[in-house]
A and B are shown apart, each in its own frame.
Chain A
Amino acid sequence: MINKSIQTLCLLALISIFSCKDEKVTPKNNPVNETELITTLQVILTDSADGSIRRFTFRDSDGEGGNAPTQFDTIKLDNNKTYLCELLYLDESKAIADTISNDIKDEADDHLVYFDILGTNLNVQILDNDNQSLPLGLNSRWRTGNTSTGSIEIVLKHQPGIKTGNKDLGETDAAIKFALEIQ
């Protein structure tokens, strides 16, 4: 008698657990990212002489992998001019685009942007600093030389707690190599 009742109890216990399944386990979630993603970089260049603005964009709305980037401009500048550059990092995978540049500014001590220039007569000088007086890189001054073509790679590094100005430290959050033409 006892063994039967115990067996019944055990089975009942199991059945109740089988039946009250957690709602969370339904495979329902679409890959709308609650997490952070950088999808877009806009390089906004203001001619220091006449104030005219040029905008060059890289955009890969679904992040790494998946579909290929939808926009990847070639940066075209005039020779022997000075431009003020502002970098705008965006997350456009969300319904309302998120301005990542604001987060970078808020945590300037943990971030570093640097520029790798290949084959062109371009000089870039970083204008903004973090709280430790180390360069940040969201704002810079670009001076073009004579006509040439090459590339400029714009790299955003995340260096939480380890920033010293060394660009080799930390993890790369974004690295985009734009083709560059100085006309």
Chain B
Amino acid sequence: MLLILFVLGAGLKAQSDSCHFTIRGIVLDSLDNSPIEQTNIAVVGNNNLHTISNEQGNFELHNVCPGVIELHISHLNCEHVHLTLLITKDTQLTIFIHHIEKTFSGAKITIKKQDDNLDKVNKSALESNRINGLGDVFKELGGVNLLKTGSSISKPIVNGLHSNRVIIINNGIRQEGQNWGMEHAPESDPFLASDIQLLKGANSLRYGGDGIGGILMVNPPSLFKEKSKRLSGDINLSGFSNGRGGILSGILSYKVSDKFPLYLRMQGTTKRSGNTNAPDYYLYNTGMLENNYSLNLGYSKNKLRTEVFYSDFNSQIGLFTGSQIGNLSDLQIAMSSKRPLSKDEFSYQIDRPYQKVRHQLLKSKSNWYKNALNSFELTLSYQQNHREEYDVLRSSNAHTGPAFDYWISTSMGDFTWNSLDVLGFNIQAGIQGLYQSNAYTGRFFIPGFYQIGLSEYFILEKKHHHNEFEASLRHDQRGFEYYLWNNNNLSIQNNNYNGFSFVLKETINTLRLGKISASISSTWRPPSANELYSNGLHQGIAAIEIGDPNMHQERSYAATIEHLHQYKRLHFEYEFLIKHIQGFINLIPGNEPILTIRGAFPSFYYTQQDALIYGFNYLLKYDINRQFKLKYKGALLNGVNLSKSEYLNQMPPYQMSLSLFYEKGNWTASIGGDYTFKQWRYVQQSDYLPPPDAYILINAEIKNEFKIKQQTFKWAIQVNNLFNQQYRDYLNRFRYYADAQGRNIAVRLNIPITTNLKK
């Protein structure tokens, strides 16, 4: 965030005694003039002179000496700003804080709060995509694609990398589930999210050193912005045609009083849908249901801010029956038939095969603002992820439970020291600990294990005129204890890893050139349980996958160049990225098929090679006039296996999208097309089917806002895949079996609930 300061100095009363002046002021949000509390104001070089703005945004500094002083102003984790004043009398200041995403810290570039860019999802994109789940919201970010399993399971691919190479920070806590699985979507409620970002700077290392693909951050709105004695919140109602589904979600927040600043929030979402349909047929057993709720309790007074958060996510997702194959000939039959051989009818019933997941998170976070320059943060969390997978039963008198289920529970602690202005640097230093256990029952896929992790990190930032320099260094130690069973004999395998990660980034920000940054970074990750020890049939894709217990860690070296600028009505930004990954863990087809009771299956081996990924992401926005706006966006990515001099499989094909927006009064209409090229960069003969053809999808939306008794109601109608285009997506694992989802018409209504409570 950037602080833009408008200083209104006004002489009030001259005083002759030295060091008896007072600086009074108010801190306001420049967008809506609402007061901002918890802003630190300090006189540099005088440890006794500092204060924090109160709930009304007011602050006072007494006993200020005459002469030139330097004020240091900072708000929470935002960057600090220096303000030099000549004090000859009591002074009144009005400070406006402009909440702007930090990547736009151009002194002259002013960007509206709701605008999107390559690193951040804007509010309206969040609102129209979240009905399809959190995964679909991520795809609004530059360079992010979705790895799909049918239409109801999607997980983010960041510049070609996914699963264990992407970290998702959910509400400040690293999400820990069975991340390795391609059909395991992130377990988080998109209706709680308000802020979704792809982290690129030095501070991304605070969250992990193993985000080789990237680090995605999902944050709820701040609890501490609530005003006292007021219930505030809203209800979201959505209904959609494809799957005949509906979503009901509500959030309610309350602050007890200014004297007793206790904050409360409750939130819940329930979602239900039935079989979705492709243009020509229903996809049988693709219904899903989801029930989530969360509770948040916070307390903020003086120098302390503390909160406790609990969330419970529950989902049950049917897997398309037509994708159930027993062996290669079933797969051949499924691929060669024009329509799936499963039932073609609508139903809300979720039959086997389905997956059922529960994810619970409990966290506490406390900030202590020691003084204007120093603050401490302690975060403790515990999360438990229980995933059950129910296969088709061969007979009803067989075992009735899940074919396998996993319990992964993770405790984490993080202690961070934030210090501003240490020799002109902002410093963040922290230590993190992790303890994790993973157990399973039923069919073997990955072994049970314990994991212990200890990490330290150090982040530096310095801003000088038009230059901004960021650097971070992180060290991780991770120890795994695997419990391996072979013919009822247990062996325990200990694997230890440790390594450093770093980010160096320099940004130049001028009126003439815009904002240009260059960065280099290196991160690493240990091989995951499936890459080391899997040894069995991956049923959905008819392949036997075999791990290699001798694999070592994977390390990436990356460089990026980003440029962002605004010329009058044209806003553009683009980034080049190049990533060299040493020991890239990849599934490579084996020479010999493996014989099983279901016939012979092709074998795939996890091996390590060197890979190179390079790409170009861009975004252009042009305001044609006051009503019409254009947006053009694209991502071009290539992946090469350097060791074998061939393409990397499963890289996202080139994509671009163009949208036209019309805004008038309280109405907004938009229409846009997404074009996906055919992926021809893959290893020939390495896949059962060549990548599908290029396709274009047209989406449209109409939105309106209206007021009843000072409350703003919002509604929208959106259509995805307007022309019911028949297509298959290269990154959808069900592309062998069926077409992707057809037209979907959705209606959304947002009802505000804001009530002032009388005393």
Whether A171 pairs with B306 at a CB distance below 8 angstroms is: no
Using Cβ atoms and an 8 Å threshold, which residues of chain A touch B437?
25-27
Using Cβ atoms and an 8 Å threshold, which residues of chain A touch B408?
25
Ranked 6 nearest A-B pairs via Cβ: A27-B448, A172-B326, A65-B536, A31-B444, A103-B395, A175-B599
A169 to chain B, nearest CB (A): 6
- Is B372's CB within 8 Å of the partner chain A? no
8 Å CB interface, B283-341 against A: 299, 301-302, 304, 306, 308, 324-327, 329-330, 333, 337, 341
- Is B376's CB within 8 Å of the partner chain A? no
Whether B394 pairs with A173 at a CB distance below 8 angstroms is: yes
Distance of A38 Cα from B308 Cα, bound (Å): 49
| Interface size range of chain A in the complex | 35 or more
- Is B442's CB within 8 Å of the partner chain A? yes
Whether A160 pairs with B260 at a CB distance below 8 angstroms is: no
Interface string of B56-99 (1 = CB under 8 A from A): 00000000000000000000000000000000000000000000
Whether A25 pairs with B444 at a CB distance below 8 angstroms is: no
Distance of A173 Cα from B325 Cα, bound (Å): 9
Using Cβ atoms and an 8 Å threshold, which residues of chain B touch A14?
308, 362, 364, 380, 382
- Is A6's CB within 8 Å of the partner chain B? yes
- Is B537's CB within 8 Å of the partner chain A? yes
Q: What are some 22 contacts across the A-B interface (CB < 8 A)?
A: A6-B262, A6-B306, A7-B366, A14-B382, A17-B382, A27-B440, A29-B441, A34-B401, A34-B441, A35-B399, A36-B398, A36-B399, A38-B597, A63-B596, A63-B597, A64-B544, A103-B394, A106-B395, A106-B397, A107-B396, A168-B341, A171-B324
Other-chain residue from A2, A11, A171 in contact with B364 (beta carbon distance below 8 A): A11
Whether A64 pairs with B537 at a CB distance below 8 angstroms is: yes
Whether B308 pairs with A173 at a CB distance below 8 angstroms is: no
Of B393, B443, B447, B596, most A-chain CB atoms within 10 Å: B596
8 Å CB interface, B496-542 against A: 535-537
Whether A171 pairs with B595 at a CB distance below 8 angstroms is: no
- Is B662's CB within 8 Å of the partner chain A? no
Using Cβ atoms and an 8 Å threshold, which residues of chain A touch B308?
10, 13-14
Distance of A72 Cα from B404 Cα, bound (Å): 29
Whether A68 pairs with B595 at a CB distance below 8 angstroms is: yes
Whether B447 pairs with A27 at a CB distance below 8 angstroms is: yes
CB nearest to B330 among chain A residues: A172
Distance of A72 Cα from B382 Cα, bound (Å): 50
8 Å CB interface, A86-117 against B: 100, 103-104, 106-107, 110
Distance of A21 Cα from B228 Cα, bound (Å): 37
Distance of A104 Cα from B447 Cα, bound (Å): 31
Whether B439 pairs with A28 at a CB distance below 8 angstroms is: yes
- Is B485's CB within 8 Å of the partner chain A? yes
CB nearest to A103 among chain B residues: B395
B residues touching A (Cβ–Cβ < 8 Å)?
260, 262, 299, 301-302, 304, 306, 308, 324-327, 329-330, 333, 337, 341-343, 362, 364, 366, 380, 382, 384, 391-399, 401, 403-404, 407-409, 411, 437-444, 447-450, 483, 485, 487-488, 490, 535-537, 544, 546, 594-599, 601
Q: How many A-B residue pairs have CB under 8 A?
A: 175
Distance of A40 Cα from B599 Cα, bound (Å): 13
Using Cβ atoms and an 8 Å threshold, which residues of chain A touch B404?
35
Whether A27 pairs with B442 at a CB distance below 8 angstroms is: no
Other-chain residue from B302, B343, B483, B485 in contact with A162 (beta carbon distance below 8 A): B343
Whether A58 pairs with B399 at a CB distance below 8 angstroms is: no
Using Cβ atoms and an 8 Å threshold, which residues of chain B touch A29?
439-441, 448
Whether A171 pairs with B488 at a CB distance below 8 angstroms is: no
Whether B260 pairs with A69 at a CB distance below 8 angstroms is: no
Whether A175 pairs with B442 at a CB distance below 8 angstroms is: no
Q: Known: A27-B483, A34-B441, A65-B537. Is A103-B448 also a contact (CB below 8 A)?
A: no
Other-chain residue from A6, A35, A62, A175 in contact with B329 (beta carbon distance below 8 A): A175
Distance of A35 Cα from B597 Cα, bound (Å): 16
Using Cβ atoms and an 8 Å threshold, which residues of chain B touch A18?
380, 382, 411
Distance of A29 Cα from B327 Cα, bound (Å): 28
- Is A124's CB within 8 Å of the partner chain B? no
Interface string of A35-64 (1 = CB under 8 A from B): 110111100000000000000001010111
Distance of A101 Cα from B302 Cα, bound (Å): 73
Whether B536 pairs with A103 at a CB distance below 8 angstroms is: no
Whether B598 pairs with A172 at a CB distance below 8 angstroms is: yes
Whether A168 pairs with B333 at a CB distance below 8 angstroms is: yes
Whether A32 pairs with B488 at a CB distance below 8 angstroms is: yes
Using Cβ atoms and an 8 Å threshold, which residues of chain A touch B299?
3, 6-7
Whether B403 pairs with A35 at a CB distance below 8 angstroms is: yes
